A = this chain, B = another copy of it.
């Protein structure tokens, strides 16, 4: 088990009516002039933006709004937000939506108080030193961005998709009412569930030993998602299923299940190339990459794959052949993803075999040219993984 530091300053208000706390929580956090940043029209049409605005009004807080956060949020929107923040002397950003709105808001919060180009932080040219505080009103169970230290932005010109992890990225509060997720289309619900599972699995696949407790916490979250996602798809208004997914999304990505171990994250990096190139949803890309990544790694650590298969997927253990048990677990994962409507191959995602070498080459590398921690993947490994996905 690795030494760790754990500090989660986000204040969560969870349950029916949580959005009505927006004004009070913003004031508590010192916000007086607020930029509400949201995505498409659904947050407007559903009435959520109206409720948030009413709450801010009741609290006597000035606000202005900027919509248009897109899936795989773009740098151009961040620049637009930064200009508005400066013009309006904004001191607090309230993201209303999912990962896109929150990640954009985080990037704006860093960029607005920085003299240079905010992209410096995302390409490693500078380290953030200050920010505006960000709050979140969540409408999608998926990214965990409501309390994670990460943000992912795509550069318009080059379609480079880059993540930034830093403690300043954690929102000061997150208002989480599962009811707002009940109107999500099935495909987005399933993409979100996949993203949540991926956040857990990226942490689960570690070479660290002596991490039994966090293994079991990971397994608990996976099991809960496997139970809740089909319920939410069958009955979109199932509050309890939506609530399990929503809280699972949060704890999957704020280190509750990840302390004391080094995660892998190669699948995320490979997927970023797919969603940047083909414009696919992050969860859908992960549904294709992650099982292929798992098949490629089964031989690296059959015991861990067998543990996952038995404890999470209910597979019978073959005690003489953990790799057989492990493979059965991967197959159940693939069957589960298909059952909730996720794509099962690069082709179903709209990808092309001939793009594979370029995708492998463009996947963001560490300094030594490798990707991931469970094993260190080089372009030929990434190609092999994408070939497995290209069935």
Contact = CB atoms under 8 A, between A and B. Distances in A.
A368 interface: no
Interface in A1-30: 1-18
A240 B210 contact: yes
A4 B14 contact: yes
B244 A228 contact: no
Interface stretch (A213-221, A289-297, A341-349): A213-221
Given A9-B9, A14-B3, A247 B260 contact: yes
Interface string A193-224: 00000000000000001111100110111011
A7 B14 contact: no
A305 interface: no
A35 to B, nearest CB: 24
A118 interface: no
A380 B210 CA distance: 46
A256 interface: yes
A243 B8 CA distance: 20
A11 B4 CA distance: 11
A47 B10 CA distance: 36
A59 interface: no
A248 interface: yes
A217 B257 CA distance: 10
A243 B209 CA distance: 12
This protein's copies in its complex: 2
A217 B241 CA distance: 16
B209 A216 contact: no
A239 interface: yes
Contact of A223 (B18, B216, B239): B216
A241 B244 CA distance: 30
Given A209-B240, A210-B240, A220-B220, A14 B8 contact: no
A220 B209 contact: no
Given A1-B240, A4-B15, A5-B13, A220 B213 contact: yes
Contacts of A18: 3
A244 to B, nearest CB: 5
Contacts of A84: none
A12 B220 CA distance: 23
A227 interface: yes
B3 A11 contact: no
Given A1-B240, A216-B221, A247-B260, 6 more contacts: A1-B15, A3-B14, A3-B18, A210-B239, A212-B244, A213-B221
11 contacts: A1-B15, A1-B244, A2-B15, A4-B14, A8-B8, A209-B240, A210-B239, A211-B240, A212-B224, A216-B223, A251-B256
